[in-house]
Chain A
């Protein structure tokens, strides 16, 4: 990571911070704003990923899908969800320069959740982000892929992680 310019690391960390703050505040429009028009988002179990099985929990493979994810969370399923508060804890583990202002960044994460009106906090999932970030006038995701070690989710997941 020593070859990466400090301002690049700063931009990538800012992007990640915007992302996790958006989700912890359940601000789906700010979540969407973390992606550029090439952006994709995937949530997949490590069991599938490591065995080469492509099925994901969420597979937003184009920008329109990301927009539809916002609609799904905020409009279509808003009233049937048992809402919960998340806290995303992340740790940057590597950055690799891919050229053309693109960087591959990896994070470890653990996410706690507290279901509204039920005051116990539990682990929603732990895993890693495999990101491709465009650093141009700030930073934005070309890809954010969350690979979760938690192969069996403790509950249904209503929002991206």
Chain B
């Protein structure tokens, strides 16, 4: 396998914008460059919603690329996100996915950190290097921004501020998924490992939904009017009306599909933020899908579900019931996606190109204006990926 002098992998990209080399899903040598240029590059990554860690000292562990991190709510009620590593020898400080601590102690040499990230204790420090100062050993943190209670981080000093990075076509619908004001209540996760490359996981499109998901057809579930907005830096945002038929004969208990709605609701919003986060609101389900690639093969997805602080008991029960049965790795309207992730990954071990058709008007032009059910909305994100990876496009 040839390498460029900058340790970058080489992959020739086809001239046609609607063709994606299948090897992009399979080549293990791409992963180090993806880490450097994407996950540790000029992108924002959502890590935690404030409602997941509502109390002082609550923490949540996560990953950025391969880097262990954790978010914690400090004594001052502020949320901070740190690298999960003792500033002494590098031991992880947090070993559980969720918890509450008043201080974070490394068990190795008992260095002690406050939830604000300050080093507050380190035994035998009189015998340390002459210039040792605890202030120089705070937990490393990240450039952080908050939007409707959702905290994003980046390792980039140069990427645009979060709202500019997302664009209004993305952050406005996102604010509605996040309850309009971010006053959400967290009600639980569904976590699953999918046996595919991370790019296969997030390559779902606007074309498949009424075709793959037989539940839509069986339930006589008509897709309403809608839009798909895409941005040059690879974010997609779908929004559509949802018309649930009055008489659903396929199910004995059709109440699972009730759309009670709120003032901030339209029927269905699905958003994919580059590189791999999905946000969705179908009917009354509020969902963030945090995703963590496990190297070049495999991805762990944490579906996080929310209710709103203003919900009455009936609405809370409805959201929980709907979320637990319709979405996620066992859901009535989403399990098939999971099946496709692993099948597309297996199938892409064959040579040649994955080819996008629906909505493509000119193979040699990148089109940012796409229809609601077009798969061509994924092509700007592939172009963004190609550029970030430095792959040359072949001449037409």
**A65: shortest Cβ distance to chain B, in Å?**
5
Determine whether the beta carbon of B252 is less than 8 Å from that of A67: yes
Asked whether B323 is an interface residue with its Cβ less than 8 Å from the other chain, the reply is: yes
| Of the residues A47, A51, A80, A157, contact of B214 by C-beta under 8 Å | A80
Determine whether the beta carbon of A77 is less than 8 Å from that of B192: no
Asked whether A153 is an interface residue with its Cβ less than 8 Å from the other chain, the reply is: yes
Asked whether B325 is an interface residue with its Cβ less than 8 Å from the other chain, the reply is: yes
Interface residues on B, range: 35 or more
A47-B97, A59-B321, A64-B252 as given contacts; A156 in contact with B192, CB under 8 Å: yes
Asked whether B175 is an interface residue with its Cβ less than 8 Å from the other chain, the reply is: no
Residue-wise, chain B 199-241 has the 8 Å CB interface mask toward A (1 for contact) of 0000000000000101100100000000000000000000000
Residues of A within 8 A of B186 (CB): 53
Residues of B within 8 A of A80 (CB): 212, 214, 335-336, 339-340
Within 8 A of B (CB), among A131-146: none
Within 8 A of B (CB), among A56-102: 56-62, 64-65, 67-68, 71-72, 75-77, 79-82
Q: How far is the CA of A69 from the CA of B323 in the complex (A)?
A: 15
Q: How far is the CA of A58 from the CA of B256 in the complex (A)?
A: 12
Determine whether the beta carbon of B252 is less than 8 Å from that of A58: no
Asked whether B195 is an interface residue with its Cβ less than 8 Å from the other chain, the reply is: yes
Determine whether the beta carbon of B250 is less than 8 Å from that of A48: no
Determine whether the beta carbon of B335 is less than 8 Å from that of A61: no
Asked whether A55 is an interface residue with its Cβ less than 8 Å from the other chain, the reply is: yes
Q: How far is the CA of A65 from the CA of B321 in the complex (A)?
A: 11
Determine whether the beta carbon of A55 is less than 8 Å from that of B195: no
Q: How far is the CA of A156 from the CA of B20 in the complex (A)?
A: 26
Residues of A within 8 A of B332 (CB): 72, 76-77
**A54: shortest Cβ distance to chain B, in Å?**
5
Determine whether the beta carbon of B324 is less than 8 Å from that of A82: no
Determine whether the beta carbon of B97 is less than 8 Å from that of A151: yes
Determine whether the beta carbon of B342 is less than 8 Å from that of A155: yes
Q: How far is the CA of A154 from the CA of B253 in the complex (A)?
A: 30
A59-B324, A72-B332 as given contacts; A54 in contact with B218, CB under 8 Å: no
Which single residue of chain B is at the shortest CB-CB distance from A69? B325
Residues of A within 8 A of B330 (CB): 43, 57-58, 156-158
A57-B330, A59-B324, A76-B214 as given contacts; A156 in contact with B191, CB under 8 Å: no
Residues of A within 8 A of B218 (CB): 75-76
**B249: shortest Cβ distance to chain A, in Å?**
11
Determine whether the beta carbon of B195 is less than 8 Å from that of A155: yes
Determine whether the beta carbon of A77 is less than 8 Å from that of B253: no
Within 8 A of A (CB), among B292-344: 300, 305, 320-321, 323-325, 328-330, 332, 335-336, 338-340, 342-343
Asked whether A1 is an interface residue with its Cβ less than 8 Å from the other chain, the reply is: no
Which single residue of chain B is at the shortest CB-CB distance from A77? B335
Residues of A within 8 A of B329 (CB): 57, 153, 155-157
| Of the residues B250, B300, B324, B325, contact of A71 by C-beta under 8 Å | B250
Determine whether the beta carbon of A53 is less than 8 Å from that of B214: no
Q: How far is the CA of A88 from the CA of B297 in the complex (A)?
A: 28
A55-B323, A58-B325, A65-B325 as given contacts; A82 in contact with B339, CB under 8 Å: yes
20 A-B Cβ contacts within 8 A?
A48-B188, A51-B98, A53-B186, A55-B324, A57-B328, A58-B324, A62-B253, A65-B256, A68-B251, A68-B256, A76-B218, A76-B332, A77-B214, A79-B214, A80-B214, A80-B339, A151-B189, A153-B193, A157-B330, A158-B330
- Other than A47-B98, A80-B214, A80-B339, give 19 A-B pairs with Cβ distance below 8 A: A51-B98, A51-B188, A53-B186, A55-B188, A55-B320, A58-B330, A62-B253, A64-B251, A67-B252, A71-B251, A76-B215, A76-B250, A76-B332, A77-B215, A80-B336, A81-B339, A153-B193, A156-B335, A156-B339
